[in-house]
Amino acid sequence: MLHNNVRREKQSMRKEEHRERRKYQRFRAKDGALIELRSHRGKLGEIIDISKGGLAFRYIDIGDRPKGSFEVDIFLKETGFRLEKVPAKTVSDLKTTQYFPYSSTKTRRQGVQFGELTRDQISKLEDFIKNCTTGEV
């Protein structure tokens, strides 16, 4: 019992340390918010959450994983919002436990950090966060 309590405390401390390292508040993206990797034309991902410093997205793993630095487009079709050529780099890429019945489809969750943005990109990103998210994570 004591061992389980110590383990829970350590896990809680690690989560708190991880939260404290974040420079910007994260927001949950609305359904239908997508990311397209410009270097992998046609490769789309579903945006999970976003901040002024980066975002996390879910994608179908077909073996061609985005790595290193690249540019992305962020969009939400229902509103017509589109932010193009956002510089980004991979900071994490993890297997997810999402399950599709009767399918061998595997998904991954990738975290990206934005590179240096133009004033226009910053303005559009702030607009996306204000109008295309459903609240804090």
Tens of pLDDT, residue by residue over 63-97, are: 777 777 899 999 998 999 999 999 999 999 998 87
Using a 10 angstrom Cβ sphere, with 0-12 exposed, 13-18 middle and 19 or more buried, the burial of residue 12 is exposed
pTM over 0.75: yes
d(CA 52, CA 122): 8
Q: Give the domain CATH number at 81.
A: 2.40.10.220
Instruction: Work out how many domains the chain is built from and give that number.
Output: 1
The pLDDT, as a whole number, for residue 13 is 52
Q: What is the residue type of 92?
A: S
Domain that holds residue 46: 2-136
